[in-house]
Amino acid sequence: MKVSRELYSDMQNQVAPKSKSYKNIPLAFVIGGLICVIGQLLISMFMSFDFEQKEASAWASIILVGASALFTGLGLYEKIAKHAGAGTLVPITGFANSISSSALEFKSEGFILGVGAKIFTIAGPVILYGTTASIIFGLIYYFIR
């Protein structure tokens, strides 16, 4: 049986779940904003203890990454992401989640062939293309300037 694009599109629309973007978009915005507010509160707290801006930012980043990895290991990050969607993809916490979830998924295969080999399965392309893009944009900026 040959299926035309129109027929396939109609079939897909019938079985695909309806998007609740009226609910999902604001919720993602609020949760993502809440993560950022927590980060800013951490920075402000550390600066009130006489930390410099760089030190306070580094400690806030460390705490957010650690909390994200901990929540991933406890299964809480997935529950939050189920409701918050893209709001949990705030770069630092989303990146920590992608690394720790890959490590957890392959831990049964051992530390070398499981965790060690698969930990950057998801994050590896982000690192590769992010670094490549930053070099290209840096060179463009250097020559334009």
Count the domains in the chain: 1
In a domain, 81, yes or no: yes
Convert the pLDDT of each residue in 78-109 to its tens digit. 999 888 888 888 778 988 888 888 888 777 78
Place 14 in a pLDDT band, splitting at 50, 70 and 90: confident
- CA atoms of 145 and 133, how far apart (whole Å): 18
In a domain, 14, yes or no: no
Query: Is the predicted pLDDT of residue 127 greater than 90, yes or no?
Result: no
Query: Is the predicted pLDDT of residue 64 greater than 90, yes or no?
Result: yes
In a domain, 54, yes or no: yes
- CA atoms of 30 and 37, how far apart (whole Å): 10
In a domain, 12, yes or no: no
SS3 108: helix
Sequential DSSP letters for 79-97: HHHHHHGGGGG-HHHHHHH
In a domain, 9, yes or no: no
In a domain, 74, yes or no: yes
Place 110 in a pLDDT band, splitting at 50, 70 and 90: confident
Query: Is the predicted pLDDT of residue 72 greater than 80, yes or no?
Result: yes
SS3 49: coil
Query: Is the predicted pLDDT of residue 59 greater than 90, yes or no?
Result: yes
Residue ranges making up the domain that contains 82: 26-144
Place 67 in a pLDDT band, splitting at 50, 70 and 90: very high
In a domain, 72, yes or no: yes
Q: Which residue has the higher pLDDT, 39 or 22?
A: 39
- CA atoms of 51 and 70, how far apart (whole Å): 25
Please report how the helices 76-84 and 91-105 are oriented relative to each other, as an axis angle in degrees rounded to 10.
Answer: 130
Please report how the helices 76-84 and 53-74 are oriented relative to each other, as an axis angle in degrees rounded to 10.
Answer: 100
In a domain, 70, yes or no: yes
Q: What is the mean pLDDT of residues 121-139?
A: 88
